[in-house]
Structures are given as structure tokens and as C-alpha cells.
Structure 1
Amino acid sequence: MLNIYQKTLSKKASFKGIGLHSGKIAEISLIPSAEDTGITFKRTDIKDNNLIKANFQNVSSTNLCTVIKNQHGVSISTVEHLVAALYFTGVDNLEIQINNSEIPIMDGSAKDFVKIINKAGVKNQTKKRKYLKISKEVKIHNKNKFINLTPQDQRLKVNYELDYENKIISNQKNIVDLSSDNLEDIYSSRTFCLYKDIQKIKEAGLAKGGSLNNAIVVDDNKIINEGGLRNEKEFVNHKILDLAGDLFLAGHRILGHVKTKHGGHELNKRCLDLLFSDKNNYELFEVTKPDIRKENFIIRSEKIAAIA
């Protein structure tokens, strides 16, 4: 069911960890924030112009992670897992203070973030939450990759497919309702890479903090990590985790049906760009009150001219 009111943390929460690509330790504080402020990152290691809104319009790179940057060139990288955790736990408004340029990778999933947020607690605020409902199909095809957004009321349904030549990853599919399903397998699924690609990634100056503690490494016919997978669809489930974080950069929770194959950060960003290129593609609405008789919600729709 859809929540009526916006939410923030009940109290401050702090943690630290290593960045996957930078290899640098970052200290994070999650600070409760007022209604309608959304998700904002604050670089505490920089004195001025250090605020970055978690918004798709601020995405500056999608190379192996999602990077957002403000108009002054101040950036935060690898935001997708933490933003996905905020989506899963129902947080709308939060200031994320960080003393470095990359969100810690933790164990390669969003599991630790969800645990930290749940321990701090989430509370209702006084203003109502606005949902973004897909009104028209939005479609992007790029060779063997595609992503489609189509209308579907009161839920975000994801149909995701991977098709790798690697025998271990192979073809994986999953269909998940991000609005109502148990999402533990999604937020617990770790990032992954092929062993043969590691040298190339490192030569590009990335994955300086990568290890078997924060990523699944797949060789030709085996998983190198001790203990193997956490769930049988961990590869595609991690891609769904990334998708949830990237789509929450819309600034609102999207309600619709997402179908994608070989998706990724770049395709997710292009999808949001296309979605917001035409105001007829979507509308925002609030939940007014629960209809107990129908065990559902009465919806009041209101067209929004633009999203800042």
C-alpha cells in the first residue's frame, strides 16, 4: 500500500567505510531533514558550494557507478546503493553529510545501509508524499539493450533480464514489485564483476577499494568468493537494486512497470531524461486517505508543470 505522508529518520545515524573506486575511507552522517527538502548530499570536506541534490539532472557520469555533481563541480560518486536503501526504507527527506567524494561500498549491497536506517528509525512527517505516475510509455532501445516504462497504478513493478555469455551468470530474470514484495534478496545482493575484467577496470583508475569483501568475482566457471551467492538470482537482483537507486533520482517514487534487458546506470539515466522531456509522460499525485472498505487508497491526482 502507498504511504500517505513523507518520512525522514527519527534520529541521526553515522557510519564509515571504504569507497569502491577511490579506495578512500569516508565518514557519513545521515541527518533528519524537513519536509519537501528531498535527499541532499553535503561534502563536509569542502567549505563552500558543497550541497548536491540527489536528482537525475545532476548525474555527471554513469561509468560503473552513478556520480552526481552540482553546478560548482562538487561531486559524489557511487550514490546508487544508499539512495536505493532510502527508497526501500521509505525515507523522503534526508541530509547525507560526507567528508569525501565517494559513498562507501560497504559489503557491495545495500544491506548495511538498510540496517543502519532501520536502527535509527523512520518517522512520519506532516506533509503528504507525492508519487510520480507514468502516464505514457517511455522506451529506449540500444542494440541488445532496452528499458521500457509503462503505466501501472499504485506500484513499481520491475521485470529485469540479464543474458551473459559467462556460464555462471548466464541468463537470469526476475520480476519484483518494489512497492509490496519482500525486498531482502534485492537489497542484500552484491555488486559483481568478471575476473577477466579486473585488470582493465584497475587500469582505468577504478576499483581501488574493491575486494572479495565487497564484490562477487566470477571466473569462467566458478565464483571466487567463499560461500558463493547469497541468493540464486543475486546477479539480476543487484541490477534491480541499482535500478531502484537510479530511478529514485527522479525526486519522487515512480509508479509504473519497468521492463529492461541488459540495463545499467547509463540506460537508467537516459530513461529519466526521456521521461521528463515531455510533461505528458507523467503526473504527480497525493494519497488523501485510506479507504478501509476497499483496503486500498483514494487518490487525488494533480498535474505538475515541472520538477525543479
Structure 2
Amino acid sequence: MQNTLKSPAVFTGLGLHSGEAVRMVVHPAPVDTGVWFRRADLSGSDALIPARWDAVVQSKLCTLVANPAGASVSTIEHIMAALAGMAIHNALIEIDGPEVPILDGSSEPFVQKFLEIGLVRQDAPVRAIRVLKAVEVRDGDAVARLEPSENLEIDFRIDFAEAGIGRQEKHLSMANGAFVRELCDSRTFCLQADVDRMRANGLALGGTLENAVVFEDGEVLSPGGLRHNDEPVRHKMLDALGDLSLAGGPILGRYTGIRAGHAMTNRLLRALFADPTAYRFVDVGGTTERKLPGMGVHRGDLPIRH
């Protein structure tokens, strides 16, 4: 069955790229609402923006959605991953600026708050997207692919020249609490040289060593080091879940990302929905429902750090 929050969840912080202070409130929503953003600093219906694959517009280094009136919200991938990973299907996200707060650079602060508030089970089945055949997009060495599977699986591979990252790969079934246990606390990452370049171009103005893992010459500059030895690839999987959730429902399929990013995952969803023979919407229940991300999650699933 579908879920929403028991009560509103409030978050405040800075936008990663804008550096602007923002207040965001995730409100409960009725069945079959899906996820929408509402710009509290704008008025009327022009302030509503769907969190959906066909509302994504080209953006550097993050996922951005916009409506036909030009209202937009950026860096939505971490909150979307938290909603998907917690099986929150219906929510209205009110935000008083153009960018979601970065918080600690992961989805964990969102997950913690959602677990604290709790969920309401709603009287309607979850509508999932079953992948019927393989769909793939490429860009040079980068690949993003979806293929049939009984539940959502994510397989990701990265390869960086930076010695502190190097080659990493990981595969996870996202059934039950896997996202919360394995991925939610993995932070966004970059190289110090990238930070310098982004700031020179007016980006990453809200970035700090406290909300990103920064690498330089094989060293981790962020205090406390890594939360996982393979934190970068785990974060790429987190991003992928957030971007895949823009499909409009949980995906029953295996996602493979090789050096893929936000734009490629969105291209993949566009390719999937462009081929009516590649997918089918299904109402799920029973054993299939129990395999969906977030079903049966509890506070004990949160990672323990020492």
C-alpha cells in the first residue's frame, strides 16, 4: 500500500551551489499524489513543480526540475532518494528558494527525520513500473541501462584517476531497508580542484568540508575521513535511486550505471518511456510489495558510526 508522512518534516540549511539559506517542509499528501514541489516564495499554480522525469531540465552537477512557467528546484536527488528509500509515495515539498538544502551531503538527515515522524499507510496499492526488456543509453565510456528483474537492483561502477577514489563497484538489491542500511549516509564527493573550478564559475558556494567528501592527491580532506571505504560509489547509487524515483513509481528492474550521472539516468528514463513495449505499470502487493525499497524500515536500519 502507498505511504505518506504522519506530519510535516521541516529542514533548514544552505543550498550546495547557491549558498543561499533555505527552509523546506515535506508535507503529507493524499493517495496517488506522487511527489510535488511548491515554491513558497512564488504564488499561484505557477509555484507547483512535479518531481517527474519529464520535468527535468539540463543542469550542471545536479538534478533540476522546472514547470512551464519557469519555476524550478535544483539538487533534488538526495531528498528524492530518501523518499524512495523510505517508501514515501505521496508528499508535497514546500520550499522557499530554488535549491534543496544540502545538509550533510547525504540523505541521512532526511531519513532520520522521516523515521522520527513516522509514516501513514494509505488505502491504495503502490503502482510500480515493471521493466519488460533492456533499455540502454551511452555517452562515450559512460553507460546507463535498465533490464528486467523481480525487484529494484542497482549495479554501479566508477573509475577516477584520483588515487583516493580509483575504481569502485557495488551491487545491491534495494529490497526492504537496503537503502537506509547501506547507502543513505554516503555523501556527495569531489576533488579540491573541482571545488576551486566550480567556485570560480559561481557554483558550490554552499559547499564545505562538512557537507561533501573532498579528495586531493589521494587524501580525504573532510574531517573524520570516509564513512565507508567505498563511499563514492555508494553515493552514486544513492543519486541513481533519487533520479530513478522520478519515474513516478518504484521500478521493478535492474539499473546498471557505468560512469553514469544525473543526465544519463534521466536520458535512460526518457528512452524507457519512449518505448511502450519496454515497460508496464503494475499494482503491487504481497511478496512483491515486500521487496520494494523502504518497506519495513525501522530506526535500527540506520548506519552506526563510531
TM-score by length of 1: 0.91
Identity within the alignment, % = 35
Deviation per residue, 1:72-92 (Å, 9 max, x gap): 000001000000000011100
Pick the aligned partner of 2:196 from 195, 199, 207: 199
- Say which SS state the counterpart of residue 174 (structure 1) adopts: strand
**C-alpha distance 177-297 of structure 1, shift in aligned 2 (>3 A):** closer
Establish whether residue 270 from structure 1 lines up as the match of residue 267 from structure 2. Answer: yes
Pick the aligned partner of 2:160 from 160, 164, 167: 164
Compute the displacement of 1:94 (Å).
Answer: 0.4
Distance 1:182 1:39 in 2: 22
- Say which SS state the counterpart of residue 42 (structure 1) adopts: strand
CA contact (8 A) 1:185 1:231 kept: no
Q: Which residue of 1 aligns with 2:21?
A: 25
Establish whether residue 94 from structure 1 lines up as the match of residue 80 from structure 2. Answer: no
Distance 1:120 1:30 in 2: 11
Q: Which residue of 1 aligns with 2:47?
A: 50
Deviation per residue, 1:179-209 (Å, 9 max, x gap): 2353333110000111112221112211010
Runs of 4+ in 1 over 3 A off after TM superposition: none
User: What is the 5 A alignment of 1:146-225?
Assistant: 146-153=143-150, 155-180=151-176, 182-183=178-179, 184-225=181-222
Deviation per residue, 1:36-90 (Å, 9 max, x gap): 1100100010112100000011111231100100010000010000000000111
Pick the aligned partner of 2:254 from 249, 253, 257: 257
User: What is the 5 A alignment of 1:36-75?
Assistant: 36-48=32-44, 49-75=46-72
Q: Which residue of 2 aligns with 1:301?
A: none
Q: Which residue of 1 aligns with 2:298?
A: none
Distance 2:178 2:9 in 1: 24
- Say which SS state the counterpart of residue 38 (structure 2) adopts: strand
Q: CA RMSD in A?
A: 1.4
**C-alpha distance 170-36 of structure 1, shift in aligned 2 (>3 A):** same
- Say which SS state the counterpart of residue 86 (structure 1) adopts: helix
Distance 2:280 2:35 in 1: 21
Distance 1:185 1:158 in 2: 12
- Say which SS state the counterpart of residue 277 (structure 2) adopts: helix
Paired amino acid for 2:33:
T
Compute the displacement of 1:12 (Å).
Answer: 1.3
Compute the displacement of 1:226 (Å).
Answer: 1.8
Deviation per residue, 1:113-153 (Å, 9 max, x gap): 00111111111101111110000110112111001111012
Distance 1:102 1:109 in 2: 15
Paired amino acid for 1:97:
E
Between Structure 1 and Structure 2, the one with more strand by share is: 1
CA contact (8 A) 2:85 2:177 kept: no
Q: How many residues align?
A: 288
CA contact (8 A) 1:185 1:234 kept: no
